[in-house]
Structure 1
Amino acid sequence: MVLEMAILQVIKGEEQNFERDFAIASQFIQSIPGYASHSLRKCLEEENKYLLLVDWEKLEDHTVGFRESEAYLEWKKLLHHYYNPFPVVEHYEMVLENKK
């Protein structure tokens, strides 16, 4: 499993519109083979800052499967105009996990 992580700085005043369009865009990312789950979290300290977490089976499911798909074009059309600056996307693999 690979975790995609991006900190999203949304243009101030556009938070509600972004959240609405993100809910719509979720259908596109969910349609990709290798997609496992995703969550969007809103920062408590900065109202226009969000954390996107996406679990993929393998890195290529995101970097090729999603990024080279028609679904990504729809995702991009709905969401990319909200970001300033454009987010850096990083990928992580599990080293250690503890749960209660």
Structure 2
Amino acid sequence: MILELADIRIQPGKQAEFDAAIQRGIDQVISKAKGFRGYKVNKGIESPERYVLQIFWETLENHTVDFRQSPAFTEWRGIVGPFFAAPPVVEHFTLLAKSD
């Protein structure tokens, strides 16, 4: 399993609108993508315009090829992109250890 970690900064004062948009984008677009296995969204307390989106994919290619190179990616960006203050920083991770 691969973890996609997106560090998202949005425009000030748009949190409530973005909260709805990111949930809609995940439910309507990303959750239907090949290899999608789940997600978490966290929003900043000290930095209320900062969000950390975690998406779990079966393989790296499910995100980088199957999703990113599909029309669904354009649809996703159309929903959440207008709120971005800067392009998200996106990285991928594999699990090293975890607690139960």
Under TM normalisation by the shorter chain, which class is it? Answer: over 0.9
Q: Does 1:52 align with 2:53?
A: yes
1:63 matched residue in structure 2: 64
Give me the identity figure in percent. Answer: 31
Q: TM-score, normalised by structure 2?
A: 0.94
Q: Provide the aligned C-alpha RMSD in A.
A: 0.9
Structure 1 stretches of 4+ with a deviation exceeding 3 A read: none
Unaligned stretches of 5+ in structure 2? none
Return the alpha-carbon distance in structure 2 between the equivalents of residues 38 and 98 of structure 1.
18
Unaligned stretches of 5+ in structure 1? none
- 1:32 partner letter: A
Q: Shift of the alpha carbon at 1:38?
A: 0.8
Q: Shift of the alpha carbon at 1:21?
A: 1.0
